[in-house]
Amino acid sequence: MSKIPPFDLSEQYKIIGDEVNAAVLAVLASGRYIGGDHVEGFEQQFAAYIDTSECIACNSGTDALFLALRALHIGPGDEVITTPFTFIATAEVISAVGATPVFVDIEAYTFNLNLDQVEAAITERTRAIMPVHLFGQPVEMPRLMAIAQQHQLTVVEDCAQAVGAEWADQKVGGIGHIGCFSFYPTKNLGACGDGGAVTTNDPEIAATIRMLRDHGRRAGGYYHEAIGVNSRLDALQAAILQVKLRYLDTWNSQRRAVADRYRHLLQHVPGIVLPQEPVGGKGVWNQYTLRIPSTDQQTEQDQHCRRDQVRQHLQADGVSSMVYYPLPLHLQPIYQAQKQQLGQHLIAEQAANEVLSLPMFPELSPDVQDRVVYSLKDCLAGVIV
Ligand SMILES: *Cc1c(COP(=O)(O)O)cnc(C)c1O
């Protein structure tokens, strides 16, 4: 039997290939490859989609986060509160601008920042809070905004995995002060290469980010008012994203259907904890990530035992699965110097040992999904002691 991949971008290309090809050829024929109508058009359409007044396209999700912090003049001596259970980019950009990431533990069921613990981490050096809508599940933004407002902090949302997710009918990226998106190919809205965007309702922040993304100049001249970067989005990627944006809601609801079906098929299986959508939020399921807790006995011997065993069994059956993320950021070599140690953020550490992401993409067919579920149930029956 054929191998089941964690995601499959070729299926999507089969459906929209003609439109993507036409968009690419139009850009090639136009002779305008940087900036221009496609980039501006995409920025307008994406701002309308998120419901913000401004969108600034850039080269990657990492750059979107970096540019946001730069525009807020966050730097040495400043602290930014974020989660230790995320892709490195979230904390990396905080360090890259010279500030210090302050990690706050996650909650067990959504894998998102535990809002009960945010206030205790605020000091007089804190400048911003950077929540991550992990795996496509939204953080409870109204509550976080209330905390931020009380302490006069700025909220920069890392929406890289959650384009289209909502809290109370508002899209993430339009609730905090600044939203940062990635168009890495495996994100829900993926380019055919790297890409990213920043959304905001603040015209001044938007103007600063536009200036910083293009060598610290305004409107393309040779007068530079800040040390910027080159982080422009290619016209080719913008044209492809314009095509794909039209399909995003359909794809997100297909992901939802896949998630519903996983829940339906797996809800009574012992030995696993299924992901949950937070009450009040609407997720977009960039990943379907369940937890496979180790038994107490195994935890003492080998923390990784049960999840890794299951993963190997799936692999042997030709079913790919992924571990996002095997080591929380506070335990990464780069943050060891910062008095970060084992046992500091227990829920994140436990998640790192227990998470397993099953194949998830809009075109995942019921037949293939059945094979994943069959194989998982089979392994679980075998490895439970
Ligand atoms: C993908 C991702 C990023 C970085 O986006 P790139 O476009 O790859 O630079 C940042 N944060 C999170 C949570 C991500 O998943």
Summarised one tens digit per residue, pLDDT across range 330-384 is 999 999 877 766 678 999 999 999 999 999 999 999 999 999 999 999 988 876 5
Residue 279 — pLDDT band, cuts 50, 70, 90? very high
Q: Which atom of ligand 1 is nearest to the CA of 183?
A: 7
pLDDT given at position 220: 73
**What's the alpha-carbon Rg for the chain, to the nearest Å?**
21
Sequence-distant contacts of 276-280: CB under 8 A, at least 24 apart: 276/109, 276/110, 277/137, 278/109, 278/110, 278/112, 278/137, 278/138, 278/140, 280/140, 280/167, 280/168
By most ligand atoms within 8 Å of CB, the mutation choice from 69, 80, 87, 198 for ligand 1 is 87
Percent share of the chain, pLDDT over 70: 95
Residue 225 — pLDDT band, cuts 50, 70, 90? very high
First-to-last C-alpha distance (Å) of the chain: 29
Find the mean pLDDT for residues 183-193.
Answer: 97
Return the sign of the alpha-carbon dihedral for residues 183, 139, 271, 355.
Answer: positive
Q: Which atom of ligand 1 is nearest to the CA of 134?
A: 13
Residue type (1 letter), 163: V
Distance 256 CA to ligand 1 centre (A): 21
Summarised one tens digit per residue, pLDDT across range 106-151 is 999 999 999 999 999 999 999 999 999 999 999 999 999 999 999 9
CATH code of the domain covering residue 326: 3.90.1150.10
Same domain? For 41 and 92 the reply is yes
Same domain? For 186 and 84 the reply is yes
Active site includes 171?
Answer: no
Whether residue 361 lies inside any domain: the answer is yes
Find the mean pLDDT for residues 226-248.
Answer: 97
For 152, the token pair is 């006069």
The alpha carbon of 314 is separated from its chain's Cα centroid by a whole number of angstroms, namely 25
Find the mean pLDDT for residues 201-211.
Answer: 98
Same domain? For 127 and 151 the reply is yes
Whether residue 374 lies inside any domain: the answer is yes
Find the mean pLDDT for residues 207-228.
Answer: 93
CATH code of the domain covering residue 68: 3.40.640.10
Question: Out of 187, 244, 282, 339, which one is annotated catalytic?
Answer: 187
Indicate the number of domains in the chain.
2
Query: Of all protein residues, whose CA lies closest to atom 5 belonging to ligand 1?
Result: 61
- Give yes or no for a cis peptide into 13 (omega within 30° of 0): no
Same domain? For 77 and 133 the reply is yes
Percent share of the chain, pLDDT over 90: 89
Alpha helices per DSSP H over 335-365: 346-354
pLDDT given at position 298: 53
Q: Give the integer Cα–Cα distance in Å for 158 and 94.
A: 12
Assess whether pLDDT exceeds 70 at residue 238.
yes
Same domain? For 119 and 232 the reply is yes
pLDDT given at position 294: 81
The alpha carbon of 246 is separated from its chain's Cα centroid by a whole number of angstroms, namely 20
Find the mean pLDDT for residues 18-46.
Answer: 96
Find the mean pLDDT for residues 154-160.
Answer: 98
By most ligand atoms within 8 Å of CB, the mutation choice from 133, 161, 289, 360 for ligand 1 is 161
Same domain? For 191 and 93 the reply is yes
Distance 269 CA to ligand 1 centre (A): 32
Q: Give the integer Cα–Cα distance in Å for 183 and 233.
A: 10
Q: Give the integer Cα–Cα distance in Å for 131 and 112.
A: 8
Whether residue 3 lies inside any domain: the answer is no
| pTM score of the predicted model | 0.96
Residue type (1 letter), 189: L
Whether residue 288 lies inside any domain: the answer is yes
Find the mean pLDDT for residues 25-53.
Answer: 96
Q: Give the integer Cα–Cα distance in Å for 168 and 163.
A: 15
Cβ neighbours of residue 31 under 8 Å, at least 6 residues apart?
none
Same domain? For 157 and 81 the reply is yes
Same domain? For 50 and 180 the reply is yes
Q: Which of 245, 271, 294 is the last residue of a domain?
A: 245
By most ligand atoms within 8 Å of CB, the mutation choice from 184, 198, 324, 325 for ligand 1 is 184
Q: What is the largest CA-CA distance in the chain?
A: 69
Q: Which of 213, 245, 277 is the last residue of a domain?
A: 245
Same domain? For 173 and 294 the reply is no
Whether residue 64 lies inside any domain: the answer is yes
Whether residue 2 lies inside any domain: the answer is no
Find the mean pLDDT for residues 92-113.
Answer: 96
Q: Which of 219, 245, 271 is the last residue of a domain?
A: 245
CA-based nearest residue to 270, from 107, 110, 382: 382
Same domain? For 308 and 328 the reply is yes
Task: Provide residues with CB under 6 Å of ligand 1.
Answer: 60-62, 86-87, 89-90, 132, 158, 160-161, 182, 184, 194, 196
Same domain? For 287 and 230 the reply is no
Assess whether pLDDT exceeds 50 at residue 385.
no
Same domain? For 143 and 166 the reply is yes
Q: Give the integer Cα–Cα distance in Å for 195 and 315.
A: 31
| Residue whose tokens read 């809070």 | 129
CB of 73 within 8 A of CB of 213? no
For 271, the token pair is 């030995």
Whether residue 4 lies inside any domain: the answer is no
Q: Which domain holds residue 259?
A: 248-383
Assess whether pLDDT exceeds 80 at residue 214.
yes
Distance 94 CA to ligand 1 centre (A): 14
For 105, the token pair is 């533990």
Summarised one tens digit per residue, pLDDT across range 288-298 is 999 999 875 55
Whether residue 93 lies inside any domain: the answer is yes
| Mean per-residue pLDDT over the chain, rounded | 94
